[in-house]
Amino acid sequence: MDQTAFRVQALQIIERWPEWRWIPEGYMQLRWTFAGKCQEAASGDVVDEDVHIVWSQSYRVPVLYMHLSHSDGASFTVEEAFDFVSRNQMASSSSLGDPWSFLTKTEHPVLGVPFLHVHPCRTPDLMALFAREGSAAPLFTWLSLVMSLIGVRVPGAVASAFVQEGPAANGRSEEGDDGLPPDELTFPAP
């Protein structure tokens, strides 16, 4: 996968999972509020989560960045965020161990502010595995896995659409004749 394929596949995901949106600076964004019992922060208040999927030029793979905040807008401390992720992994039955092993705090590559991110050091191996296994939509396959790390399940209708229809179910080809996305691609308003 390269940056062009990332953009094409991101737009295909957004077509099927409308809670995501494309940010013109070149990344996907999903914002939501957790108010369910298993998703509460240690303090018991509502959690706002902002998730971005950004193409890493260094690793040449997609990377998940997230920012968690309390309902009053105060950002989570790293410890609160790790506690939140740990409890949501258990709630989603996708526990992969201690979040310290895969989450780190870093600067968002576009926004320049602190975010947590799922470290991309093993992502190239996963993406290569998806390609060897014949995944028609490696970004969706990766997204399904990495979202489970933070306790988020892909909606069944979205997963079914990718399984039943394939990645280019909208009638467009994945790429134009020149290997670039078709010119008619449009971006949802921010």
Return the active site residues.
Answer: 121
CB 114 within 8 A of CB 107: yes
CB 101 within 8 A of CB 118: no
Helix segments in the chain, DSSP class H: 3-16, 78-92, 123-132, 138-149, 156-165
Q: Compute the distance between CA of residue 103 and CA of residue 66 in angstroms, rounded to an integer.
A: 10
- The answer for residues whose C-beta is within 8 angstroms of residue 33's C-beta and 6 or more apart is 46, 47, 48, 49, 71
Q: Compute the distance between CA of residue 4 and CA of residue 130 in angstroms, rounded to an integer.
A: 18
Nearest to 38 by CA among 77, 95, 79: 95
Task: Copy the structure tokens of residue 70.
Answer: 């309390």
